[in-house]
Amino acid sequence: MARWEPGAPQRLVVAAVDLFTEQGYDATTVAQIAERAGVTRSTFFRHFSDKREVLVAGQETLSRLLADGITEAPDGAGPLQAVAAGLERASSAMGPANREIGPRLKAAVAASAELRERDLLKNVGLAAAMTAALVDRGVPESTAHLAGEIGVLAFKLGYARWSESDRDDTEGLAPHALAALEELRAAAASLG
């Protein structure tokens, strides 16, 4: 097996998602994922602690990008304006491979209670990163927490729309995430 080839983490993610979709999460083994990705089991474990962790590949990077965008938002930006800056920053790191895997990842998560649980934990982590960055900007904690949760929902909605949209759409993820954020802002305002 070609352990030295670059891109092992990405190949492992694609292989895992494909196998989860084809045969189910429970029926998929680490050995099968490694074989499909063209690496050894030890290479798998160098990148992931178990097959469930494949779902959150890149979570730390995504959390950091969201927080960095919020931190670097212009002075005087409101909480949701800062979240928008975070969404733009995180979206810039999402490329065609992220878009391509979206529908398959969604199907794999929907089919497994364990993956749904891990996906929820991922969302908690993303919201916590945004909340902390907003609090560091001086936003009151309850407001920061709400804005962080709205940011996660906007990211998820935007990502789903982007990954399921026409492949001729070359705008990237950011417009979809920002449109979702605006829809959520309007929905929150309508709550009264």
Q: How many angstroms separate the CA atoms of 44 and 85, rounded?
A: 34
Weakest mean pLDDT among 21-25, 56-60, 79-83, 165-169? 165-169
| Domain limits, the chain | 8-54, 58-189
CA angle 6, 10, 15 (to 5 degrees): 115
Q: 3 pLDDT exceeds 60?
A: no
pTM, rounded to two decimals: 0.85
Task: Identify the residue whose tokens are 């759409």.
Answer: 169
**Is 103 within 8 Å of 163 (Cβ atoms)?**
yes
Task: Identify the residue whose tokens are 């492992």.
Answer: 12
Would 8-54 and 58-189 be classified into the same CATH topology? Answer: no
Q: Which CATH superfamily is domain 8-54 in?
A: Homeodomain-like (1.10.10.60)
What CATH class has 58-189?
mainly alpha
pLDDT bucket at 1, cuts 50 / 70 / 90: very low
Give the total residue count for the chain: 192
Residue 146: strand, helix, or coil: helix
